[in-house]
Amino acid sequence: MNDEQLVIERCDEVLAEHDPKQVRPAEVLGAQYDAGVAWVHFPDGYGGLGLSPRLQNAINARMTAAGAPLPYARNPIGHGMCAPTIVTHGSDEQKRRYLRPLFTSEEIWCQMFSEPGAGSDVASLSTRAVRDGEEWILNGQKVWTTLAHVARYGIVIARTDPEQVKHKGLTMFVVDMQAPGVEVRPLVQATGEAEFNEVYFTDVRVPDRERLGDVGEGWHVSLTTLMNERVSIGGQVHPRGSGLIALVLHTYAQHRADAGEAARDEVARLWIEAEVNRLTNIRASQSRKKGTPGPEGSVGKLAMALLNQRMMSLTLDLMGPEAMLYPSGYPMSRPTTAMDLSNPQKAFLRVQANSIEGGTTNIMRNILGERVLGLPGDIRVDKDRPWSEVPRS
Ligand SMILES: Cc1cc2nc3c(=O)[nH]c(=O)nc-3n(C[C@H](O)[C@H](O)[C@H](O)COP(=O)(O)OP(=O)(O)OC[C@H]3O[C@@H](n4cnc5c(N)ncnc54)[C@H](O)[C@@H]3O)c2cc1C
């Protein structure tokens, strides 16, 4: 039996014993995790079988065709960024405790990297963790934290040694979002939704066993998160012609009579580019054997952000004056999922964030230039100075 047959057989066993039409989603997903077909490239016993990540598409297709839920939408930060970080850098105890309920979405996760003074240059962050026996005391502020208001746990990167250069002296932790001293405040986006938040830490006590990786190795650990984030945002492989390009085609079909030849050309161009992007992502996922993705994730993320914005601009142009109406009204709401693209007007506003979240378009271009094309590096004047001596606002 080859690997593909093995994983399909595992899926069929899960489906036979846990009919998605009869049992709770968390039960099906829990069984999927236990069968090693949650993240098939993760190690045996932690939701995987140590096989190629290429097989995951076949697994997902088999499970969803039988009505099983795809858990990513409900817990996108958990799946896209936190799980790969925990499985790569977590202790056995952390993997055992966190991965299963993360996969089933019984526990939602968030990622706390960005700060008011540290976004693209996240290594310049100021949140401090000071050791106190077997605990760390966390103080500082994070910002733009997606789904922090529903998160049970989060990963946080903090400065543990200010006398080191900025990329050193950082350490990563798992934080209990219900711990005393954690305060989550909403930030409203252009869509009217507060999908992300500010998070304040005031003397939050984090046990040392909740450290991810070694003390001072937080930058290295965060690269696992960031590289996976780019693939999670821009590297997903969906069926041909699905997603926002389907919305473009649908809108064009409705407004064809008034659209004109130029719009027709643009629709065709966007369809081709969406397909090129999809095929590039398939190629990148097939060349990725295991572990942390490389710079190809940044290429996919760069292309997807720009393409999404062009697709939604054309969609609203095609709609004409109707595009100025906002279907759901404009009350501030607190969604429990991120990236709601359920109507064109909201999608137009939401995709503007695609070129900021997960690393800006300029930063993706820097990575592409330096790591793929081998161009000279960006000027980094502070890289050899202790963080405590670097001027900041
Ligand atoms: C919808 C959304 C969700 C998010 N969710 C999360 C989350 O869950 N967790 C989290 O930690 N963060 C999150 N973020 C934050 C996101 O990672 C940051 O916004 C992003 O990294 C940019 O940082 P910044 O906003 O501080 O902009 P800055 O870094 O201040 O950048 C401002 C401008 O300067 C440019 N720039 C900066 N440095 C360079 C350079 N070296 N070369 C060229 N140009 C440069 C940038 O491209 C940008 O145009 C989210 C953001 C958004 C929009």
Tracing tokens 């709401």 back to the chain, one arrives at: 333
| Ligand 1 nearest atom to the CA of residue 142, by list position | 11
Closest CA to 167 of 126, 112, 220, 211: 220
Residue 290's pLDDT band, with cuts at 50, 70 and 90, is low
pLDDT in tens, 110-154: 999 999 999 999 999 999 999 999 999 999 999 999 999 999 999
Residue 292's pLDDT band, with cuts at 50, 70 and 90, is low
- Cα 136 from Cα 88, distance rounded (Å): 22
- Cα 367 from Cα 137, distance rounded (Å): 34
Closest CA to 198 of 146, 240, 260, 276: 146
> Ligand 1, atom 30: nearest CA belongs to which residue?
119
Residue 162 and residue 388 in contact, taking contact as beta carbons nearer than 8 Å: yes
- pLDDT for residue 75: 94
In degrees and rounded to multiples of 5, residue 289 shows phi and psi of: -80, -55
Mutate to test the pocket of ligand 1, among 75, 146, 360, 362 (most ligand atoms within 8 A of CB): 360
353 CA to middle of ligand 1, Å? 10
Mean pLDDT value of segment 351-360: 95
| Ligand 1 nearest atom to the CA of residue 360, by list position | 47
- Residues with a known catalytic role: 229
355 CA to middle of ligand 1, Å? 9
Give the number of other Cβ atoms within 10 Å of residue 187's Cβ.
13
Residue 153 and residue 106 in contact, taking contact as beta carbons nearer than 8 Å: no
Cβ-proximal residues to 85 (8 Å cutoff; 6+ apart), any chain: 155, 172, 212, 221, 224, 225, 228
Mutate to test the pocket of ligand 1, among 85, 120, 355 (most ligand atoms within 8 A of CB): 120
> Ligand 1, atom 24: nearest CA belongs to which residue?
119
131 CA to middle of ligand 1, Å? 29
| Ligand 1 nearest atom to the CA of residue 118, by list position | 26
Residue 276's pLDDT band, with cuts at 50, 70 and 90, is very high
Residue 2's pLDDT band, with cuts at 50, 70 and 90, is very high
- pLDDT for residue 160: 98
Mean pLDDT value of segment 26-30: 96
Cβ-proximal residues to 381 (8 Å cutoff; 6+ apart), any chain: none
241/230: higher pLDDT: 241
44 CA to middle of ligand 1, Å? 36
> Ligand 1, atom 25: nearest CA belongs to which residue?
119
Residue 342's pLDDT band, with cuts at 50, 70 and 90, is confident
Mean predicted lDDT score pLDDT of the chain = 93
Residue 161 and residue 217 in contact, taking contact as beta carbons nearer than 8 Å: no
- Cα 312 from Cα 52, distance rounded (Å): 35
303 CA to middle of ligand 1, Å? 17
159 CA to middle of ligand 1, Å? 19
| Percentage of the residues of the chain whose pLDDT score is greater than 70 | 98
In degrees and rounded to multiples of 5, residue 341 shows phi and psi of: -110, 35
Does the pLDDT at position 233 exceed 80?
A: no
Instruction: Give the DSSP per-residue string, 28-78.
Output: HHHHHHHTT-SSTTSPBTTTB-S--GGGHHHHHHHHHHTTPPPTTTTSHHI
Does the pLDDT at position 301 exceed 80?
A: yes
In degrees and rounded to multiples of 5, residue 96 shows phi and psi of: -65, -40
Stated as kind and residue range, the H or E segment containing 14 is helix 3-17
Distances (CA, A) of 170 to 176, 222, 358, 392: 19, 10, 20, 17
pLDDT in tens, 245-261: 999 999 999 999 889 99
Ligand 1 neighbours, Cβ below 6 Å, are 77, 110-114, 119-120, 144-146, 196, 353, 356-357, 359-360, 362-363, 366, 378
pLDDT in tens, 170-228: 999 999 999 999 999 999 999 999 999 999 999 999 999 999 999 999 999 999 998 88
Does the pLDDT at position 357 exceed 80?
A: yes
Residue 170 and residue 116 in contact, taking contact as beta carbons nearer than 8 Å: no
> Ligand 1, atom 37: nearest CA belongs to which residue?
120
Residue 291's pLDDT band, with cuts at 50, 70 and 90, is low
Mutate to test the pocket of ligand 1, among 109, 357, 367 (most ligand atoms within 8 A of CB): 357
